Amino acid sequence: EPEVTQTPSHQVTQMGQEVILRCVPISNHLYFYWYRQILGQKVEFLVSFYNNEISEKSEIFDDQFSVERPDGSNFTLKIRSTKLEDSAMYFCASSEATDYSNQPQHFGDGTRLSIL
């Protein structure tokens, strides 16, 4: 079964540095998402992306964050000038194009981001 893959599995970064989290969504999916989860608790929506632009974003997704689909396969989340509170698990997800509103999202295994 096709999977969403995320790299790296664990990223350690000094506070104030930039970090890029990478995701390869399922190949025939056209809707992409980033979520974060702090300490194995609530899953928080960050941003959704379709047709090379942001579709929706939460209030968490401020100017510090950006997303990009630099080629036909990768989907990246960039965090500029990281803060201690950015430490979390970051999950990428994708869903099918057709009738996306009730299609389940397929999640990657996440990147654990640790800010020192």
Partner 1 sequence: AQSVAQPEDQVNVAEGNPLTVKCTYSVSGNPYLFWYVQYPNRGLQFLLKYITGDNLVKGSYGFEAEFNKSQTSFHLKKPSALVSDSALYFCAVRDEGGSYIPTFGRGTSLIVHP
Residues that bind partner 1 (CB under 8 A): 4, 6, 33, 40-45, 48, 55-56, 91, 93, 100-102, 104-110
| Least distance CB 70 / partner 1 (angstroms) | 22
Q: Are 90 and 77 in contact (CB under 8 A)?
A: yes
| Least distance CB 82 / partner 1 (angstroms) | 22
User: CB-wise, 52 or 102, nearer to partner 1?
Assistant: 102
| Least distance CB 16 / partner 1 (angstroms) | 28
